[in-house]
DNA sequence: ATGTAC
C-alpha cells in the first residue's frame, strides 16, 4: 500500500502482540511528514480499542493528537476530534458582475462580529436559518474565528474532470465562496466539559457525547451558510445553497465503530474541497477512499511549520505587504499581522503534492482547481486601528 | 482553535 506504511506485518513478532492498531500513511516517500506527527499516530494507535489509523498527506502535529488523520476505534475519544467539533469547508456558487479584488475586499462584512438577533434583526442572512439554532447557541454565530479559518472569494481555474464539473454546474471563470470555519465556542465548551472530568479518556456515555457533538456539527454547517449569506449580500449577490459542505473534525459511527476524523474529510463517494493556502490554489475533488484510508481524504495543504516557527521565519522572510497581496494576485484581508505570518503560504506544504499523493493512492480524483481573488481572515481596521496599534507594540524591537 | 487570563 503506502511507501510509508508501518503496518504490524513489518514489525517484529514481539510487537504484534501489543494490541496496537495499524497505522497507514498515505503520502509519497518524498512528501514532508514530521516525525512528531508520526509519533502521535503511533501513540493514538496504542490507545485502548483502537483499530486503524489512516494518516493523510497533510498530516502534521496537533495538540495531543495528529491533525490530518482518520482514526477508527471501538471506543469514543472526544480529544481525537478536538475542540472545533464540526469544523469544515463549504463551497457556494456566487454570481458577480465585476470581480475586482480591491473593490470587493473593501466590501466584506465584519465577520468577527456575531449576528445579534435584536440589533441585526433585519439582516437578510437570517433567512438561511430554517430550523432551531442548534443548542440555542447564539454566541459567535456568523463569525469566522481565527487560526486557519477563512472566507474566500475564488475563481474556478482549471477544469480537471469536465463531466463531473458539468454535473456540479462549474465552468472555468465562474466564482465561488469557500468558507472554512467551525462551531466556535460551542465545540470548545463540549470538549472542555468532557476533559474537565475525563481528561483524554474515552466518553463513558458515547450517546450523550454524540448528542452534544451532533449539535456542534449542525451549528458549524449553519455558521458556514450564515457567513456565505452575509458575504454574498455584502458583495451584491444572492445567497446560494452549498455545492459541497464537508466536515473534517467529527466522529461518526460507521460499521459499528467510532470513526474519528481530525483534519480529515469524508472521502467515501463524496465531493470535498481541499484547501490550499492564502495565496495558492485549492482543489475540489471526488473522494473514493476505502477502508484502508478509513474512508477519508486530506482536508488541506497541512502545516509545514509550527505557528511559532512561521512567525519567526516569516518576519525575516516576508513583508506584510507581500502577504496581503499574494503571488496569484489575490488580496488577503487580515488586520492581525501575527496571524498573517502564521498563515503565510510558505508555512504550509505544497497543495499540489497533497493532491498528487491522494491521486497516487487512489483516494481522490480532482474535479476543478480554484484560485483566490480575496481571502478574508479578520477585519482590517486601517493603519491607526486599535488592532494594528496593538500589533505595533507587540512587534516593536523585534522586527 | 478557542475564550480568557496575563
The span from the CA of A114 to the CA of A116, in Å, is: 6
Q: What is the mean pLDDT of residues A138-149?
A: 96
Strand B contacted by A263 CB (< 7 A): no
pLDDT of A20 reads 82
Whether the pLDDT of residue A8 is over 80: the answer is no
Residues A223-270: tens digit of each pLDDT: 999 999 999 999 999 999 999 999 999 999 999 999 999 999 999 999
Q: How far is the CA of A288 from the C1' of B3 (A)?
A: 38
A182 CB contact with strand B at below 7 Å = yes
% of residues, chain A, pLDDT over 90: 88
Smallest CA-to-CA distance from A67 within A304, A329, A355 is with: A304
Q: Grid coordinates 473593501 are at which residue?
A: A106
Strand B contact with A239 (CB < 7 A): no
**Average pLDDT for A99-122:** 95
Binding site of A for GMP, by residue number, is 148-152, 248-249, 282, 299-302
Nucleic strand B within 7 A of Cβ A188: yes
Q: Summarize the annotated binding site of A for Mn(2+) as residue ranges.
A: 149, 180, 248
Residue A1 has pLDDT above 60, yes or no: no
pLDDT band, very low/low/confident/very high, at A37 (cuts 50, 70, 90): very high
Give the pLDDT band of residue A397 (cuts 50, 70, 90): very low
Identify the pLDDT of residue A198: 95
Q: What is the distance of C-alpha A91 from the center of its chain? A: 12
Q: Is the pLDDT of residue A53 over 80?
A: yes
pTM for this prediction: 0.92
SS3 of residue A125 by DSSP: helix
Q: Average the pLDDT over A181-186 and give the result.
A: 97
* A313 CA, B4 C1': Å apart: 28
Q: Which candidate in A260, A299, A318, A361 is catalytic?
A: A299
CATH number assigned to the domain comprising residue A224: 3.90.1860.10
Q: How many domains does chain A have?
A: 1
Residue A273, C-alpha cell as written in the block? 474541497
Protein CB footprint (7 Å) on chain B nucleotides: 1-3
Parent domain of A274: 3-395
Which residue numbers of A belong to the known binding site? 148-152, 180, 248-249, 282, 299-302
Task: Read off the C-alpha cell for A375.
Answer: 481571502
- Closest C-alpha among A186, A200, A237, A258 to residue A21: A258
pLDDT given at position A363: 98
pLDDT at A64: 85
For residues A317-345, give the mean pLDDT.
94
Helix or strand holding residue A88 (H, E):
strand A88-94
Exposed (0-12), middle (13-18) or buried (19+): which is A157, by Cβ within 10 Å? middle
Residues with Cβ < 8 Å from A92, sequence gap 6 or more? A176, A177, A179, A228, A232, A239, A240, A241, A242, A243
| DSSP-based three-state secondary structure for A252 | strand
> Does nucleic acid strand B have an atom less than 7 angstroms from the CB of A61?
no
| All three cell numbers of A125 | 442572512
pLDDT tens digits for A186-203?
A: 999 999 999 999 999 999
Residue labelled with grid coordinates 496581503: A324
User: What's the Rg (C-alpha) of chain A?
Assistant: 21
The nt closest to A185 (CA vs C1′) is B2
**Could you tell me which of A50, A201, A190 has the C-alpha nearest to residue A134?**
A190
Q: Does residue A87 contact residue A248 with C-beta atoms inside 8 Å?
A: yes
d(CA A273, C1' B5) / Å: 37
CA A170 to C1' B6 (Å) is 50
Annotated active-site residue A299? The verdict is: yes
**DSSP letters along A189-244, please?**
HHHHHHHHHHTTS--SSHHHHHHHHHHHHHHHHHHHHHHHHHHHHHTT------SE
Q: Is the pLDDT of residue A17 over 60?
A: no
Check pLDDT > 90 for residue A280: yes
Mean pLDDT, residues A78-98 taken together: 97
Q: How far apart are alpha carbons A60 and A125 in whole angstroms?
A: 36
Residues 241-260 of A with CB under 7 A from strand B: none
State the Cα–Cα distance between residues A190 and A209, nearest whole angstrom.
8
Q: Is A112's CB less than 7 Å from nucleic acid strand B?
A: no
pLDDT at A19: 64
In the predicted model, what is the mean pLDDT of residues A90-97? 97
Question: Residue A188: which nucleotide is closest by CA–C1'?
Answer: B2
Amino acid at each position: 500500500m503506502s511507501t510509508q506504511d508501518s503496518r504490524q506485518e513489518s514489525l517484529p513478532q514481539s510487537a504484534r502482540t501489543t494490541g496496537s492498531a495499524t497505522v497507514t500513511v498515505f503520502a509519497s516517500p518524498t512528501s514532508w511528514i514530521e516525525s512528531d506527527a508520526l509519533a502521535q499516530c503511533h501513540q493514538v494507535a496504542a490507545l485502548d480499542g483502537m483499530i486503524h489509523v489512516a494518516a493523510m498527506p497533510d498530516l502534521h502535529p496537533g495538540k495531543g493528537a495528529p491533525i490530518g488523520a482518520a482514526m477508527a476505534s471501538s471506543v469514543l475519544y472526544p480529544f481525537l476530534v478536538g475542540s472545533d467539533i464540526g469544523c469544515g469547508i463549504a463551497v457556494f456558487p456566487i454570481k458577480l458582475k465585476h470581480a475586482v479584488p480591491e473593490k470587493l475586499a473593501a466590501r466584506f462584512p465584519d465577520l468577527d462580529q456575531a449576528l445579534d438577533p435584536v440589533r441585526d434583526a433585519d439582516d437578510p442572512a437570517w433567512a438561511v436559518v430554517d430550523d432551531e439554532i442548534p443548542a440555542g447557541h447564539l454566541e459567535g454565530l456568523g463569525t469566522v474565528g481565527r487560526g486557519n479559518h477563512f472566507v474566500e472569494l475564488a475563481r474556478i481555474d482549471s477544469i480537471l474532470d469536465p463531466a463531473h464539473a458539468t454535473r456540479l454546474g462549474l465552468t472555468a471563470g465562474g466564482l465561488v465562496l469557500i468558507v472554512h470555519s467551525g462551531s466556535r465556542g460551542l465545540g470548545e465548551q463540549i470538549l472542555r466539559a468532557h476533559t474537565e472530568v475525563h481528561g483524554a479518556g474515552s466518553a463513558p456515555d458515547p450517546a450523550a457525547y454524540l448528542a452534544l457533538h451532533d449539535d456542534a456539527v449542525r451549528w458549524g454547517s449553519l455558521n458556514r451558510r450564515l457567513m456565505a449569506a452575509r458575504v454574498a449580500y455584502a458583495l451584491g449577490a444572492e445567497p446560494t445553497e452549498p455545492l459541497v459542505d464537508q466536515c473534517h473534525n467529527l466522529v461518526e459511527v460507521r460499521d459499528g465503530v467510532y470513526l474519528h476524523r481530525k483534519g480529515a474529510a469524508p472521502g467515501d463517494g463524496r465531493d470535498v474541497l481541499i484547501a490550499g493556502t492564502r495565496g495558492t490554489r485549492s482543489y475540489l475533488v471526488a473522494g473514493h477512499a476505502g477502508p484502508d484510508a478509513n474512508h477519508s481524504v486530506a482536508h488541506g495543504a497541512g502545516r509545514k511549520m509550527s505557528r511559532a516557527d512561521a512567525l519567526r521565519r516569516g518576519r525575516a522572510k516576508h513583508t506584510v505587504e507581500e502577504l496581503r497581496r499574494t503571488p496569484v494576485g489575490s488580496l488577503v484581508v487580515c488586520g492581525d499581522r501575527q496571524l498573517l505570518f502564521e498563515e503565510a503560504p510558505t508555512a504550509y506544504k505544497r497543495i499540489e503534492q497533497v493532491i498528487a499523493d491522494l491521486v497516487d493512492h487512489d483516494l481522490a480524483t480532482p474535479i476543478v482547481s480554484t484560485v483566490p481573488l480575496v481571502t478574508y481572515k479578520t477585519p482590517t481596521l486601517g493603519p491607526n486601528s486599535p488592532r494594528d496599534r496593538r500589533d505595533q507594540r507587540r512587534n516593536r524591537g523585534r522586527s
